[in-house]
Chains A and B, each alone.
Chain A
Amino acid sequence: MKFRKQFERTVETLFFVSALASILSVIFITLFILIEGLPLFFHSATDYPPPTFFEFFFGTEWFPTDTPPKYGIMPFIVGSLFVTAGALVLAVPIGIAVGVFIAEIARGRAQKILRSATEILAGIPSVVYGFFGVMMIGFFLQNFDDPIVNYNAFSASVILAVMTLPTIINITEVSIRSVPREFADGSFAIGSTHWQTIIRVLIPAARSGIITGVILGMGRAIGETMAVLMVAGNQPTIPTEGFRSRVRTLTMAVVNDMGYAADDHRVALFTTAIVLFAFILILNLVTQIITRRSSIKVQ
């Protein structure tokens, strides 16, 4: 009996250790990225002084293999924010509309089809999206003079919009569903139409959930790598021609150079990854705060 109890204890400890795995992973990931990336500011492999924080964040020139090397990641930050903003402009209205559609308007088969469509869109690997983007760009370049669909920020935004759509749709749907039925009933009781109920009661009540969805979508867009890498043009300068400019995002900078980078260049890539990581953590924190504050819990 004593043995039995001890066994149960041991297994419980094992369960506990497994439960710790994810938080430990987060800590380890943070730690190792910091260890690899931070030395950029304190130690230089060349004769030139290491870049300062200011030079790194606000420098507009990225020439890591020049002498002296220049590590300015402003173009990547701007690039990331630019394509993400473009993606959200496209994805948020459509995403919220479709979420409302699934939750409130569609019935039966239409609802089922749209829900599966959303799940499949979410499941398609990013490299396949990128591949599709490349083929589309090829098609447009062949058939039009100077099309907007080129290796540029526009294509990246469109692809990212499609990729963030499922996140926004899902969370909008769930949060509208989790608005207590009494809200809608009350609205109907005072003579509102279905549409008025949706727009004046359900969406405002589900607001925090919808915002969470948008932020999660934003996180996915900022962190997306392969699809953007294949279509965004990969030019490490500040975008000056609007959506026609070729851009390089934070993620592209990392994955593009990691194959051959050495010494300080490699360290600088990890520093870039720290910036990306910080962006994501801030977004996560915001969603956490919103979810905790809101009265309606969204899973």
Chain B
Amino acid sequence: MSTHSQVSSKAAARAYLAPHTIRVRRQQAIAKGVIWAAAGVTILTLVLIVGYILFNGFYTRKVQDFPVTPYVEERVPIAEDGTTMSIVVERSMRIRDITFPKLEEIYTGRLPFLGYLTTQNRQTTAVVYDGDGFAAKAEAFVLSEGRTFDFYGDDVTYAGSAEEIQSILAENDGTIALVPSEMAEGLRHGKVIGLLQSTVIVNPEILQLQGGRRLDHLKLGQVADLISGAAPAWSDVGGPGIVVQEQDLQNNIPGVYDPLPAVPVVPANPDALWAYFDDVYDDASDAPIRENAVTADGLDEYINTVMETPGAIGIIRTKEAMDRDLPILQVERITHWLNLRPQLLFHAPSRAGAVGGLSYIIINTLAMVLFVIVIATPIGVAAAIYLIEYSKQGRLVYLLRLGTDTLAGIPSIIFGLFGMVFFAQFLGFKTGLISGTLTLTLMILPTVIRTSEEALKSVPRDIRDGSLALGATKLQTIFRVVLPAASPGILTGVILGIGRAVGETAAILYTLGSNLALLHSINSPMRVLSVHLYMLIRENVSLPNAFAAATILVVIVFLVNYTTTRLIGRLNRMAGQ
């Protein structure tokens, strides 16, 4: 039989289909399409939620405005005689560069907690090398004229030798040191970080409010565009124009503006400032400056030119801009880093979870899970044994099943209230581990009971009869024969229970507490992953850490799903044999 004849007979059959049949088939096709779409929506929702959480859990991208451009200097010239300074920090610190304003804060004693820069739990230890007159040069570079670090208190340690700095680096994990560049490379326990100290200054008019808008920051590429002429006018980057007609809100007259050209101001001598200009371009070697650029000689004239030329834009050192209170245009900077890394799991959280890791939280969660399993498993399995092995079907069993069903349907917040009133207050356990785990035990009991019941039911009758026939008592039969055979099913129930307990929040908010401390006694209030996640979002403490916590929770869900599927598969295979 050739395919040809089959095709033609099909075609012939279609030709004789009744209109009704065609309609039915079309309806069927549409209906099946809708159903496939619904299935697609379900999968898509899951992928979207899980993908979003996991992606952000492992990778963090942050867009922030800084008063400096991202031009990094590792060897900073600090004096006329060619002395260069490097900034060295303790090696494990999560920081690659530091802005000049932050450096100034540290060396004037205004940033005692370095963790806000590194998201680690570190107290600042500021050090400066004091030899060959280096400290004086560093002071002149960082502070206003004539000041010393001592002027702001004794926060800064003067170290006389490389060995001394090395020992401070080894002892304090929040050490930051200003040293001559020649010394920086040789310091053990330390690493060199860059300094960001070039700032975009503009003519004051640029930052004025116009038509209800104000230019508050530039993207990095926009700085280059303004200087090279790719963005000829300020309005191209969201800036102001030359007023032709003022906006009149009362009479509803829109403002009319002519384009205000951007005028780069460049130094006459290609000195250090040139480097800043070069760096805002992608191609640093041959940076074009637009034709209408104005040149200025010397710092004072440079600044004056920027302040007086309409539409002027220039780049100078942050310190000079801040000292003279010049109009600074912030520049956007994108940073990204690996979020959920081993350190996050092993370091202690601090400052409400804003810095440090999740170690306490994870240990607390494990302790809670352990307690819940230890309490819930025996009770749940015993209940299932009674229901399956002992009870005769009847009113009592119906009532017991009804109890389990009802318990399964009670919302977690009710469990939370009950736990608070009964365990914490009435029984006097206070808010803490015991109250929390007992509340959770009640919550997961139905899951454990039901799954254990199913597991016990699936054990064939013959096995029991065989055991009994050999002279074993009922109890011996249950413990030596039935329970081992049903153990994968029971384990499934316990794992499902763990999954539910780990994710629960409302029931433990007021029974387990939310103290950000490691559990130290059986009664101590403590915070677990789910509550930590909630607190981090509610108080807007740290989004990356919230994503990390959510990621761990999602991973637990996957683990629970994977193991239970495997266990059930094993159980089915056993039953099949």
Contact = CB atoms under 8 A, between A and B. Distances in A.
A16 B34 contact: no
Given A18-B379, A22-B400, A121 B409 contact: no
A172 to B, nearest CB: 11
Interface string B548-570: 00100110011011000100000
Given A25-B407, A32-B422, A196-B24, A127 B417 contact: no
Contact of A131 (B399, B403, B537): B537
A19 B387 contact: yes
Contacts of A127: 503, 505, 530, 533-534, 553
Contacts of A75: none
Contacts of A269: 417
A232 interface: no
Contacts of B550: 128, 131
B32 A195 contact: yes
B46 A120 contact: yes
Nearest to A252: B413
A109 to B, nearest CB: 12
Nearest to B474: A8
Interface stretch (A98-106, A144-152, A240-248): A98-106
Interface string A186-230: 000000011110010000000000000000100100111110001
A201 to B, nearest CB: 14
B510 to A, nearest CB: 6
B406 A26 contact: yes
Contacts of A230: 534, 537-538
Interface residues of B, number: 82
A148 to B, nearest CB: 18
Contact of A123 (B407, B413, B420, B503): B503
A162 interface: yes
B244 interface: no
Interface string B406-435: 110111111111101110001000000000
The interface size bin for chain A is 35 or more
Contact of A19 (B400, B416, B418): B400
Given A129-B49, A230-B537, A22 B446 contact: yes
B53 A120 contact: no
Interface string B385-406: 1110111000000011011111
* Dominant secondary structure of chain A at its interface with chain B: helix
A233 to B, nearest CB: 14
Contacts of A196: 24, 28
Nearest to A104: B35
Nearest to B445: A22
A23 B39 CA distance: 38
B39 A114 contact: yes
A100 B503 CA distance: 29
Given A29-B414, A100-B35, A22 B449 contact: yes
A120 B413 CA distance: 22
A101 B418 contact: no
Contacts of B414: 29, 33, 223, 273, 276-277, 280
* Dominant secondary structure of chain B at its interface with chain A: helix
B503 A19 contact: no
Contacts of A18: 378-380, 382-383, 386
A114 B42 contact: yes
Interface stretch (A38-46, A50-58, A61-69, A281-289): A281-289
B116 interface: no
Nearest to B442: A25
B35 A22 contact: no
B400 A116 contact: no
A269 B560 CA distance: 35
A228 to B, nearest CB: 10
Contacts of B561: 116, 119-120, 123
A125 B502 contact: yes
B13 interface: no
A223 B53 contact: no
A262 interface: no
A223 B410 CA distance: 8
A221 B474 CA distance: 44
Given A98-B38, A280-B409, A26 B403 contact: yes
A97 B412 contact: no
Contact of B27 (A26, A130, A195, A280): A195
A196 B28 CA distance: 8
Contacts of A7: 475
Interface in B489-534: 499, 502-506, 509-510, 530, 533-534
A230 B537 CA distance: 9
Nearest to A224: B411
B405 A16 contact: no
Nearest to B420: A258
Contacts of A281: 406
A121 B45 contact: yes
Given A15-B383, A25-B442, A131-B550, A193 B28 contact: yes
Given A32-B421, A273-B414, A281-B406, A132 B53 contact: yes
Contact of A116 (B382, B407, B565): B565
A113 B43 contact: yes
Contacts of A29: 410, 414-415, 418, 442
B446 to A, nearest CB: 6
A49 interface: no
B360 to A, nearest CB: 18
B8 interface: no
Given A22-B404, A134-B537, A101 B410 contact: no
Contacts of B274: none
Contacts of A276: 411, 413-414
A105 B38 CA distance: 13
Interface in A131-176: 131-132, 134-135, 162, 165, 169
Contacts of A84: none
B373 to A, nearest CB: 15
B472 to A, nearest CB: 11
Given A29-B414, A116-B561, A255-B413, A226 B534 contact: yes
Contacts of B41: 94
Given A120-B558, A193-B28, A216-B409, A23 B402 contact: yes
A284 B409 CA distance: 7
Contacts of B39: 97-98, 101, 106, 110, 114
Nearest to A251: B413
B385 A15 contact: yes
Nearest to B415: A29
A255 B554 contact: no
B36 interface: yes
A173 B449 CA distance: 23
A212 B439 CA distance: 27
18 contacts: A18-B379, A19-B382, A19-B383, A26-B410, A28-B418, A28-B422, A29-B410, A97-B34, A119-B561, A123-B499, A129-B49, A132-B52, A195-B28, A216-B409, A223-B411, A223-B412, A225-B413, A258-B420
Given A22-B446, A25-B407, 7 more contacts: A16-B390, A18-B382, A105-B35, A117-B42, A121-B46, A131-B53, A216-B409
Interface of A: 4, 7-8, 11-12, 14-16, 18-26, 28-29, 32-33, 36, 93-94, 97-98, 100-101, 105-106, 110, 113-114, 116-121, 123-132, 134-135, 162, 165, 169, 193-196, 199, 216, 219, 222-226, 230, 251, 254-255, 258-259, 269-270, 273, 276-277, 280-281, 283-284, 288
Interface of B: 24-25, 27-28, 31-32, 34-36, 38-39, 41-43, 45-46, 49-50, 52-53, 378-380, 382-383, 385-387, 389-391, 399-400, 402-407, 409-418, 420-422, 426, 442, 445-446, 449, 473-475, 499, 502-506, 509-510, 530, 533-534, 537-538, 546, 550, 553-554, 557-558, 560-561, 565
